[in-house]
Amino acid sequence: MKTLQIYDPPMCCSTGLCGTEIDPALVRLAALLPQLSQQGVRVERYNLGQQPMAFVQNAQVKSLLDTEGMAALPLFLIDGAVHLKGRYPTDAERESLTAATVAATAETVGGKSQVAP
């Protein structure tokens, strides 16, 4: 099973979908994450304002924050490898993110492709 980890900058809530001016990129990301979960991807999302220890406990994330500061956020990791940093994905990058996570969770069993549990 692939794991997608998202490290968000500080936001007022866990998704950033609150307040008077909602970033459309966050709306599109919020719609994508349940789809990825339903297709067998483990999605973990952390908000610096609410879960700062998650940023400190991951050596790679901590190192990027030490060297690049807040410019490194948001940060998207697929199985621990940096996939995107410093911004939310565009439409094309969301497709790439889906392909990189969902397609890789498929396992060939007996010549047939199945989604890993």
Structure confidence by residue, pLDDT tens digits, 25-84? 999 999 999 999 999 999 999 999 999 999 999 999 999 999 999 999 999 999 999 999
- Does the pLDDT value for residue 107 go beyond 70? no
Give the separation between CA 77 and CA 45, rounded to whole angstroms: 10
pLDDT band at 105 (very low <50, low <70, confident <90, very high): low
Give the separation between CA 58 and CA 111, rounded to whole angstroms: 38
* Whole-number pLDDT of residue 97: 83
Q: Residue 34: CB partners within 8 Å, gap ≥ 6?
A: none
pTM value surpassing 0.85: no
The kind and range of the H/E element at 20 are none
pLDDT band at 117 (very low <50, low <70, confident <90, very high): very low
* Whole-number pLDDT of residue 13: 77
* Whole-number pLDDT of residue 65: 97
pLDDT band at 87 (very low <50, low <70, confident <90, very high): very high
The residue that leads in pLDDT, 20 or 46, is 46
